[in-house]
Amino acid sequence: MSSTVHDPVARAGVLDFRGQMSMAARNRWAVRDIVEGLQLWPLARSLGWLDIRLRYRGSLLGPGWLTLSTAVMIGALGVLYSTLFQIDVHDYLPFLALSQILWTFLAAMVSEGCSCFTQAEGMILAVRMPLFLHALRTLVRNVLVLAHNVLVLVAVYIYFQINPGWTALLSLPGMAIWVVDMLAFCLLLGAFCARFRDVGPIIGSLMQIAFFLTPVIWQPEQLGPSRWVLPFNPFFALLEIVRAPLLGVVPSHTVWSAALLYSGILCLVAWLFFVRARGRVPFWM
């Protein structure tokens, strides 16, 4: 057999499990899960990419549908709401385009985070795989969707001749926080929804409410003197640290502190839950 010369060798390793693990051991396994997940980055990238290809396999425009449907929706909503709210479409539409695209990303990450483990049931029960890989895959998939939608944003910015200037760079640290938060969301919600199957739909309806409570289609200024309540909405703080700089506005200290505080709490809760749940997830499939 000619292939024996080149036979690829499976990943070597040592698995050393002990029942009734101590908290320290559970933490070590959780860290190992994350590290191994990062090492499998090429796999996560391919899985995320194939997810998108698969969704649009056999369609004429392929992932171009993402761009097109976003463009149509933003165009329609922009005209409708600028009339309803009696705001100049030049002021409103770029805001709406940016908000809507960013919100779509956040909402999709949260809802797909819920199913990130359950939808990979076949894989989880077939081979030993770090769970973090499924979180990465969900992130890759949604970043690809976001990248398609950003084309609409670029078109809108060019058409309305909007230049946020160097302030836009301030959105980069915000995006870094998003990446960490979204992965934390996936680990937390993915494990939680695998255990309690009705949590997914509950989160779905909560996100609907959050959409209306968060200034996505309406502008923060429209709240008038009651604007001080906004930072209490975690989604507002998270959205604003990326959105404001892209509109040429520097986010306030309050917004930044709130975003960091919420992210810290989220990551802590996600870690504590993940450390306990990691080894149990395959039993919940």
Partner 1 sequence: MRRNARIDIDGVSVFFPLYHGSSRSLKKTILAAASGRLGKDMQQRVVVQALRDISFTLNSGDRLGLIGMNGAGKTTLLRTLAGIYEPVMGHMRIDGSLNSLLDPNLGMSTELTGRENVLLRGLYNGLPRPEISRLEEDVATFAELGDFMDLPIRTYSSGMVMRLGFAMATAIRPQILLMDEWFMVGDAEFREKAQVRLENMVRGAEILVISTHDTSVVRNWCTRVLWLDQGRIHLDGTPEEVLEAYLGHPLTPLEAERV
Residue ranges in contact with partner 1 by CB under 8 A:
1, 3-4, 6-20, 39-40, 42-43, 46-47, 50, 54, 57, 122-129, 195, 197, 279-280, 282-284
Nearer to partner 1, 227 or 280 (CB): 280
Q: Give the C-alpha separation, 264 to 184, whole Å.
A: 10
Phi, psi of 87 (to 5 degrees): -115, 145
Nearer to partner 1, 2 or 86 (CB): 2
> In Å, how far are 21, 43, 50, 59 from 54, measured between CA atoms?
40, 16, 6, 10
Nearer to partner 1, 122 or 224 (CB): 122
Alpha carbon 27 to chain centroid distance? 24
Asked if residues 187 and 114 have their Cβ atoms less than 8 Å apart, the reply is no
Work out the burial of residue 270: count CB atoms within 10 Å of its CB; fewer than 13 is exposed, 13-18 middle, 19 or more buried.
buried
CB of 121 to partner 1, least distance (A): 10
CB of 1 to partner 1, least distance (A): 7
Nearer to partner 1, 6 or 253 (CB): 6
CB of 162 to partner 1, least distance (A): 40
CB of 54 to partner 1, least distance (A): 5
CB of 110 to partner 1, least distance (A): 23
Asked if residues 228 and 111 have their Cβ atoms less than 8 Å apart, the reply is no
Nearer to partner 1, 17 or 228 (CB): 17
Q: Which amino acid is at 280?
A: R
